Structure formats: structure tokens, C-alpha cells
């Protein structure tokens, strides 16, 4: 990856995208389109189909037919594995194209996007390709003249709704295990970041995935997302995004066929730093990166910094230095550390959180403003607010932007109480040289993921899932397969 190659791809026009239904690229049923606005400069990049409920129904019908005739589910595991490996090969071959396309669409800095998007997506598809022929049934411990068998079968049609922050990575977390288990899938990308995921879906067809096994429909969540949620022909619905949308999807499931719904929702992840941390300078740099990379638009971002009172002022000063050394700017520049906020609406919401934090007694010690307005893009200075009480809005509500709230604590129990004082429980971290304390924090802080003396970087071998209002079910690892299979008992008289 070099700057000249990135700039060459940046300059290329982007053809309009239609839906991908039954192996064909098609327009919306009414011909409507949506402009794709780049967060880098506010310019229109291209258009995507503005899907209708009829479009989503057509995609689901295609997926149901593909599942029913066994064109994918009925293939031998070795054949499915071969196709998925070919898909991963193509993602890797088109990695820079996919990464630049995604950055132009959602604003993630390219240095992060290459690894986190096509790099991660290809690795995820390969992981589940290798896993699919290692999933066995079971023989129950019955006695006498009875044989009890437990079969694992694909669920049928999976609906996947993918967010805008990491569409390839999170998309692969859902598509990889669902397809590996023999299901058919309909995926809906986010309105503000559809392009790279649509292109990755096209590559799946090129790899040999049969038509109808993977369909992709663009459009507004209130239209095509609702149609997916209310469908009587979707067996499992998987979603990453906001709590409000997650609640609506659960309601849709209740109003339709009681489809299983798995949700990875928001977080207010606590990053807890004790005075005995083995390297406070390193902890400060990682704390800054843990909230400000991708402009804070990361579900597991360490958005709450809890610092032992004895080192609070010195540590906050170190985090400020690390933050102010990070370069905000053009996300397609390899020297950029923090890219663009995904949309104008998201940026406005972020700035509103800063105003609220000030009104509630917080002190903005760096950042807090929109910057680089002359570019026409959506850029915000990384922001640190001290004096944030556990009850403050900034400590309770997910921002999904480059804003870090800092709170002091006195004791271990104090740290746990503050860490657990939100409705969320997605991720967290503790920095300490005390092994016993580290294990207590892992045990007592209610999260799906806990880091010790690091933040982020957990790979696909371990699950990601939340507790509380951070959702249910797990992405990544072999545990993700459980969402996409049904267990069937065979009770046989011998």
C-alpha cells in the first residue's frame, strides 16, 4: 500500500450500485436512488438503489428458494469450503480497492481500514471456511435399545443488518458463519456506508456462490430493514447497531414469525487505570487510541476513562499529550491517525454531547469543536472531558464519536461500582501490575470482553458479545456458529 496507489483509486469515478438479488444487479422496483455523500468533502460519490419493501421481499424470496432447493445447503462441506476460500482470495486481491471505496464512503482512516476491513473480512471468511467441516453431530448417552442422535442443521434464511463503521469486518462476522453452515442470507448495508459491502457481495458471486444464496438490498432502515424484520420467511435476524433499532427489530419479530434475533448494540466501555499500571505512558497512548481511532466510531471504544485519584492529573495530562499528537484529517492520507465522522448528522450529535457535558459540570480540556470545515468534510477534534460524574449524560449515553469522559476513583470497589453504573456491558479494560486485582476486575466488571494492560486487538478466535443492553449472542469464534444452526434430535428404536 502506497500513497500513489491510494490517490489513483480516490480519483476514480464510482458507478451506481443496484441491489444484488438472485445473482443479478437490479434497480429498485420504483427506480428510486439515494445519493452517497462522502464524509471527506461533502461531495456526491455515486448513487445506490433506494430499496422498497417489495425489493426486500424479492431478495428474501430468492434466498428461500435457494435454501429450499439445496443449491448451497446441499453441497458437500468440501465444496462450500472451496467457494468460501475463493471468496477470501478475491477479497485479498481487491483489498486496496475495497478499503479505498469504504473510506470514501464512511471516513475511516486508510491505515486502519486496510487491516480492519478487507484484511479482517478475508481472515474471517477463511476461519469459517476451515470450521465448516469440523462441526459434528452428537450421540446421546442413551441406554438399552434406543439410539439418540443430535443433528446440526442450517436454520434457513438469515437476515443481516450491518452498520456503517466497519461494514466489511462486521459483515464478514455475520456472513462467514451463516454461509459456512449452509444458510442463505439477505444483507442490508447501512444507508451511509453501503458501497464496500455491496462490492464484497459481488465478489462472492465471482467466487462461485450460487445465485440467491447471498442477496444484498440497499435502502433506508425504516423501509427495507422493517420489511426484513417483519418477514415471515426470515428465520434468524442478526444486527449490529443502536439500541433503539434493536428494540424495533425485536418488536418486528414478535409481530411476525417469532424469528430469532441476535443483537450487538451499544457500549460505554470503561477503561480503568490503577496507579500500579506497569507502564503509564503506554497506557495513556493506548487510552487515546482506544477512543479516537476511527473518530470514536467503534462499538467497543473505551469511551469512559476511570483513573485512580492518586495519578489522575498526571495521567490525564499524558492522555492529552497523546491525543494532541494524533493527526486529524484526510482519511486517505497514510499520515492521518483520525479520519472523518461518518455524517453531518452524527457530527451534530457529537457536538451536542459536548455542550451537554459542559452544562453538567464537565471541563473540556482539549478539543470539543468541529475542525477542517474548509474541506467540506465532517471532522471533529478529539475531545477529552474531565469531571464526568457516573450519572452524567456523557457517562451514560453512547456517543459514537471522538469524545472521552474522565472520572476519578479511590478504591477497587469504587472502580467496579462506576464501571458497572451503566445499562451497557460490551467491553472494558483494566491496567494494573497486580495479578489478583486484574482477575477480580475481569470477574466483577460486567462486560462481554475485558482487556488487561491493553485495549482492543482481540482476534477472531474469541467471541464478541455484550451483556445488559449491549445485546445478546456472539460474533466471532466458533461460538458464532450457534446462531446459524438448529439442533434436531433423532430418537431411534433399535
Q: Who contacts 109 (Cβ-Cβ below 8 Å, separation ≥6)? A: 103, 293, 294, 331, 336, 337, 338, 339
pLDDT digits (tens, 9 = 90+) for 362-387: 999 999 999 999 999 999 999 999 99
Given a cut of 90, is residue 163 above it in pLDDT?
A: yes
Given a cut of 90, is residue 457 above it in pLDDT?
A: no
Residue 55 and residue 110 in one domain: yes
Listing DSSP states for 77-94 in one string gives HHHHHHHHHHHHHHHHHT
Residue 228 and residue 306 in one domain: no
Note whether residue 441 is domain-resident: yes
Rg (CA), the chain: 23
Q: How confident is the model at residue 88 (pLDDT cuts 50, 70, 90)?
A: very high
29, 416, 440, 449 from 446: Cα distances, Å:
46, 9, 11, 9
Mark residue 33 as left, alpha or beta (left: phi above 0; alpha: psi -120 to 50; beta: remaining).
beta
Residue 218 and residue 352 in one domain: no
Residue 233 and residue 287 in one domain: no
- 391 catalytic? Reply is no
Note whether residue 464 is domain-resident: no
What is the percent of the chain with per-residue pLDDT over 70, rounded to a whole number? 100
Contact 147, 195 (CB under 8 A): no
What is the percent of the chain with per-residue pLDDT over 90, rounded to a whole number? 99
User: What's the CATH code of the domain at 452?
Assistant: 3.40.309.10
If you average pLDDT over residues 260-267, what whole number do you get?
Answer: 96
Residue 275 and residue 223 in one domain: no
Domain that holds residue 238: 3-265+471-491
Residue 275 and residue 391 in one domain: yes
* pLDDT for the residue 1: 85
Residue 236 and residue 304 in one domain: no
Residue 200 and residue 148 in one domain: yes
The span from the CA of 377 to the CA of 27, in Å, is 29
The span from the CA of 166 to the CA of 186, in Å, is 18
Note whether residue 465 is domain-resident: no
If you average pLDDT over residues 20-24, what whole number do you get?
Answer: 98
Query: DSSP character for 175?
Result: H
156, 180, 294, 349, 407 from 402: Cα distances, Å:
40, 36, 8, 11, 17
Q: Residue 73 — φ and ψ, nearest 5°?
A: -60, -30
Average model confidence (pLDDT) across the chain: 98
Given a cut of 90, is residue 216 above it in pLDDT?
A: yes
Could you tell me the strand order of the sheet in which 427-431 lies? 363-366, 383-386, 403-409, 304-308, 270-273, 427-431, 449-452
H or E, element range at 466: none
* pLDDT for the residue 173: 98
C-alpha grid cell for residue 404? Answer: 472521552
Residue 21 and residue 66 in one domain: yes
User: What's the CATH code of the domain at 29?
Assistant: 3.40.605.10
pLDDT digits (tens, 9 = 90+) for 288-316: 999 999 999 999 999 999 999 999 999 99
Note whether residue 32 is domain-resident: yes
Model pTM?
A: 0.97
Given a cut of 90, is residue 451 above it in pLDDT?
A: yes
SS3 assignment, position 487: strand
Q: How confident is the model at residue 126 (pLDDT cuts 50, 70, 90)?
A: very high
Q: How confident is the model at residue 245 (pLDDT cuts 50, 70, 90)?
A: very high
If you average pLDDT over residues 221-228, what whole number do you get?
Answer: 98
pLDDT digits (tens, 9 = 90+) for 48-78: 999 999 999 999 999 999 999 999 999 999 9
Note whether residue 466 is domain-resident: no
The span from the CA of 474 to the CA of 286, in Å, is 25
If you average pLDDT over residues 223-243, what whole number do you get?
Answer: 98
Listing DSSP states for 210-270 in one string gives PTTSEEE--S-IIIIIHHHHH-SS--EEEEES-HHHHHHHHHHHHHTT--EEEEE-----E
If you average pLDDT over residues 17-27, what whole number do you get?
Answer: 98
SS3 assignment, position 462: coil
Q: Which among 435, 418, 427, 422 is positioned nearest to 462, based on CA atoms?
A: 427
Residue 77 and residue 192 in one domain: yes
Note whether residue 119 is domain-resident: yes
Q: Who contacts 383 (Cβ-Cβ below 8 Å, separation ≥6)? A: 354, 364, 366, 367, 368, 402, 403, 404
SS3 assignment, position 57: helix
80, 381, 408 from 365: Cα distances, Å:
54, 12, 15
Note whether residue 155 is domain-resident: yes
Note whether residue 463 is domain-resident: no
Long-range contacts from 307-310, C-beta under 8 angstroms, 24+ separation: 307/273, 307/406, 307/407, 307/408, 307/409, 308/273, 308/274, 308/275, 308/408, 308/409, 308/410, 308/415, 309/408, 309/409, 309/410, 310/275
* pLDDT for the residue 28: 98
The span from the CA of 170 to the CA of 430, in Å, is 25
Domain count, the chain: 2
Residue 168 and residue 293 in one domain: no
H or E, element range at 122: helix 120-131
* pLDDT for the residue 143: 87
Q: Residue 319 — φ and ψ, nearest 5°?
A: -65, -40
The span from the CA of 305 to the CA of 161, in Å, is 30
The span from the CA of 411 to the CA of 424, in Å, is 22
Residue 370 and residue 441 in one domain: yes
Contact 261, 240 (CB under 8 A): no
SS3 assignment, position 50: coil
* pLDDT for the residue 302: 98
Contact 360, 230 (CB under 8 A): no
**Which residue out of 109, 264, 308, 398 is catalytically annotated?**
264
Amino acid at each position: 500500500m502506497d500513497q500513489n496507489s491510494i490517490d489513483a483509486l480516490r480519483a476514480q469515478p464510482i458507478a451506481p450500485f443496484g441491489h444484488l438479488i438472485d445473482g443479478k444487479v437490479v434497480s429498485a422496483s420504483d427506480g428510486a436512488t439515494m445519493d452517497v455523500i462522502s464524509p471527506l468533502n461533502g461531495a456526491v460519490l455515486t448513487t445506490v438503489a433506494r430499496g422498497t419493501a417489495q425489493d426486500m421481499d424479492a431478495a428474501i424470496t430468492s434466498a428461500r428458494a435457494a435454501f429450499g432447493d439445496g443449491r448451497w445447503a446441499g453441497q458437500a462441506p468440501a465444496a462450500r469450503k472451496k467457494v468460501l476460500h475463493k471468496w477470501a482470495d478475491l477479497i485479498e486481491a481487491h483489498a486496496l480497492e475495497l478499503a479505498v471505496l469504504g473510506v470514501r464512503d464512511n471516513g475511516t482512516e486508510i491505515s486502519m481500514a486496510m487491516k480492519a476491513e478487507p484484511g479482517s473480512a478475508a481472515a474471517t471468511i477463511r476461519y469459517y471456511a476451515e470450521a465448516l467441516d469440523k462441526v459434528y453431530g452428537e450421540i446421546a448417552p442413551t441406554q438399552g435399545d434406543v439410539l439418540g442422535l443430535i443433528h446440526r442443521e442450517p436454520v434457513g434464511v438469515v437476515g443481516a443488518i450491518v452498520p456503517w463503521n466497519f461494514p466489511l469486518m462486521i459483515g464478514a462476522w455475520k456472513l462467514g458463519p451463516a454461509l459456512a453452515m449452509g444458510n442463505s442470507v439477505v444483507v442490508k448495508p447501512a444507508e451511509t456506508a453501503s458501497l464496500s459491502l455491496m462490492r464484497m457481495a459481488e465478489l462472492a458471486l465471482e467466487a462461485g456462490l450460487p445465485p440467491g444464496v447471498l442477496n444484498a438490498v440497499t435502502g433506508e432502515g425504516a423501509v427495507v430493514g422493517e420489511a426484513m424484520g417483519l418477514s415471515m420467511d426470515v428465520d434468524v435476524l442478526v444486527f449490529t447497531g443502536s439500541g433503539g433499532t434493536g428494540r424495533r427489530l425485536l418488536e418486528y419479530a414478535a409481530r411476525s414469525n417469532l424469528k430469532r434475533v441476535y443483537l450487538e448494540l451499544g457500549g460505554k466501555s470503561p477503561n480503568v487505570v490503577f496507579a500500579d499500571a506497569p507502564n503509564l505512558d503506554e497506557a495513556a497512548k493506548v487510552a487515546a487510541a482506544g477512543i479516537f481511532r476511527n473518530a470514536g466510531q467503534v462499538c467497543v471504544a473505551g469511551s469512559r476513562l476511570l483513573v485512580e485519584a492518586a495519578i489522575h492529573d498526571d495521567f490525564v495530562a499524558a492522555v492529552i499529550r497523546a491525543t494532541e499528537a494524533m493527526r486529524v484529517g484526510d482519511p486517505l492520507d497514510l499520515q492521518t491517525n483520525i479520519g472523518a465522522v461518518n455524517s453531518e448528522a452524527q457530527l451534530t450529535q457529537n457536538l451536542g454531547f459536548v455542550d451537554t457535558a459542559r452544562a453538567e459540570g464537565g471541563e473540556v480540556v482539549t478539543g470539543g469543536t468541529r475542525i477542517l470545515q474548509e474541506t467540506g468534510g465532517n471532522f471533529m477534534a478529539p475531545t477529552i472531558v474531565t469531571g464526568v460524574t457516573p450519572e452524567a449524560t456523557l457517562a451514560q449515553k453512547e456517543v459514537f464519536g471522538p469524545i472521552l469522559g474522565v472520572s476519578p476513583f479511590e478504591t477497587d470497589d469504587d472502580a467496579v461500582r462506576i464501571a458497572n453504573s451503566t445499562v451497557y456491558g460490551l467491553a472494558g479494560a483494566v491496567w494494573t501490575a497486580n495479578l489478583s486485582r486484574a482477575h477480580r476486575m475481569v470477574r466483577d466488571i460486567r462486560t462481554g470482553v475485558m482487556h488487561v494492560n491493553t485495549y482492543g486487538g482481540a482476534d477472531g478466535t474469541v467471541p464478541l458479545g455484550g451483556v445488559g443492553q449491549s445485546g445478546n449472542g456472539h460474533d466471532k469464534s466458533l461460538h458464532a456458529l450457534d446462531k446459524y444452526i438448529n439442533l434436531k434430535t433423532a430418537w431411534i428404536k433399535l
